[in-house]
Amino acid sequence: MAVAGMTTFTACSNDDELTVTAPAEQAHPVTLNLDFNLSAGGLKRAGRPLYSSQALQQVNSMTVYVFKENAGSYVYDNKVYTIADFDNATAIGDEAHSMEIETALTDGSYKFLAVGLEDDETYEALSFTTTTTLEQAAIQLTSGKKASEFFAGFTNVYTVDANTQSLGVNITLTRAVAGVLGYFKNVPYKVLAADGTMKRVAKVSIQLNQNATDAALVDPATEKTFGDGSSYTELMSITFDGTVQYDEAKNIYTCAAVTTGSAGNPAKLENSFLVGGYSLPCAAITGGKTMKVVLYSEDDEALKTYPVQMDDSSTDFGLDRNGFYGIGHKEADNNTDGDLDDGDDDDPDDPNTGDPDDPVDLSKDQIITITVNANWSAIHDLELGAAE
């Protein structure tokens, strides 16, 4: 009778197959003591949008997903925890929080995935199935949205058995997007069009291969690939309507220098224009062009195109997560004397401290350098090739 209470036996004769139905695995209460550490490359002050290489972050929501070991892989265990009131109102860089969650887990080995977002509406809600492995977990942009910051991290293995009452889970999250900044000066007012007429430049557009911008794996091993490089999507742009001043003799758009930056009006040099934002990470496009800068007319004609390249002239580079890609150099806005052109920035974490602002001169067919700040995870030098 005791055996019958544990399993069910079905048999009609010695030749019949014996069927055994095992009881469901028993879950037991476990307290998760979660310690979150957001690594943004050092304490930095707030600022949105992205106007320099400062490694800022502002995670306003945190979600934890549970993955359980099954046949050598960690598979989504159909458990998700939304951490309420995870609001980084101070918008600093590195940050730590501790949370406690009461849950129930069956015996086995677990890994925990944490995803921190700045803007929930930017990305599709993460929806995993019970066959999704940790390596397959991906995040996708909402249609029509531009990338915003998100941080991600997963733990080492934690084991749960009948004696487990609590787990001290430490999760370190790192930035999972790339930062891109465009800093330009002497933007042409008019450019010779294909029909032989001079047409007004209405937009400077920074574009990325289209297939690189829609989704990315949460796993730090980037496996996202590009298409063939023939189709591009606009990552960010600077528009020039009829109200922007220009110098017809010099054929450039003009504006006054901003020596003391403020929200929405960053410090910048005279006759310079600045734009910044984020991109999902992506792998290299073999034999193609990853990024380009295009000058457009009012009727959306591409007047001039600059392919973006590394300092070794390669154009098929990838965008690394937590890498900052700057077209032109932009110092942080904490200069002590307000003079952006002397490069006296005292940021100890910035390897380019002492370098003056150096926006790209679009009135010349020159090589344009992109740098990546060490506050982020890597330093890259990118350039714009001769205009096409």
Residues in the chain: 388
Q: Which residue, chain included where needed, has tokens 């531009």?
A: 146
Residues 113 and 189 in one domain: no
Residues 168 and 247 in one domain: no
- CA dist 238 to 39, 234, 241, Å? 31, 11, 10
Residues 84 and 116 in one domain: yes
Residues 165 and 195 in one domain: no
Angle at 113 between CA 376 and CA 380, to 5 degrees: 20
Residues 347 and 360 in one domain: yes
Q: Which of 50, 290, 288, 272 is nearest to 146 (CA)?
A: 50
What is the pLDDT at residue 110? Answer: 95
Angle at 201 between CA 185 and CA 327, to 5 degrees: 35
Tokens of 363: 């009135």
CATH of the domain at 67: 2.60.40
Alpha helices in the chain (DSSP H): 2-6
Q: Which of these three, 129, 159, 175, is where a domain ends?
A: 175
Q: Is residue 220 part of a domain?
A: yes
How many domains is the chain built from? 2
Per-residue burial over 48-75, b = 16 or more CB atoms within 10 Å of its CB, e = otherwise: ebbbbbbbbbbbebbbbbbbbbeeeebb
What is the pLDDT at residue 383? Answer: 57
Residues 183 and 282 in one domain: yes
Q: Is residue 20 part of a domain?
A: no
Q: Is residue 160 part of a domain?
A: yes
Residues 141 and 200 in one domain: no
Question: What type of residue is 380?
Answer: H
Residues 120 and 143 in one domain: yes
Say how far apart CA 258 and CA 267 lie, in whole Å.
5
Residues 199 and 167 in one domain: no
Task: Report phi then psi at 129, rounded to 5.
Answer: -105, 170
What is the pLDDT at residue 385? Answer: 62
Q: Enumerate the β-bridge partners of residue 138.
A: 217
CB 89 within 8 A of CB 122: no
Q: Is residue 6 part of a domain?
A: no
CB 206 within 8 A of CB 382: no
Say how far apart CA 27 and CA 45 lie, in whole Å.
45
Residues 274 and 309 in one domain: yes
Q: Enumerate the β-bridge partners of residue 31.
A: 102, 166
Range of the domain at 364: 178-384
CB 132 within 8 A of CB 75: yes
Q: Is residue 2 part of a domain?
A: no
- My answer on whether omega of the bond before 266 falls inside 30° of 0, hence cis, is no
CB 114 within 8 A of CB 36: yes
343: left (phi over 0), alpha (psi -120 to 50) or beta: left
Strand runs labelled E in 298-341: 302-310, 324-327
Q: Which of these three, 175, 202, 237, is where a domain ends?
A: 175
What is the pLDDT at residue 161? Answer: 92
Q: Is residue 67 part of a domain?
A: yes
Residues 304 and 208 in one domain: yes
Residues 96 and 211 in one domain: no
Q: Is residue 148 part of a domain?
A: yes
Q: Which residues contact 151 (CB under 8 A, 6 or more apart)?
A: 38, 57, 59, 115, 116, 117, 173, 174, 175, 176
Residue 25 is classified by DSSP as P
Q: Enumerate the β-bridge partners of residue 35.
A: 98, 170
Q: Consecutive 10-residue runs of the chain (388 residues): their mean pLDDT?
A: 38 51 69 68 40 58 90 93 65 63 92 82 86 89 84 88 89 82 94 96 90 67 54 91 93 92 79 90 77 94 89 80 82 48 43 68 67 44 61
Q: Which of these three, 175, 210, 227, is where a domain ends?
A: 175
Say how far apart CA 367 and CA 251 lie, in whole Å.
20
What is the pLDDT at residue 337? Answer: 38
Q: Is residue 4 part of a domain?
A: no
- CA dist 369 to 40, 229, 311, 327, 360, Å? 24, 21, 7, 6, 8
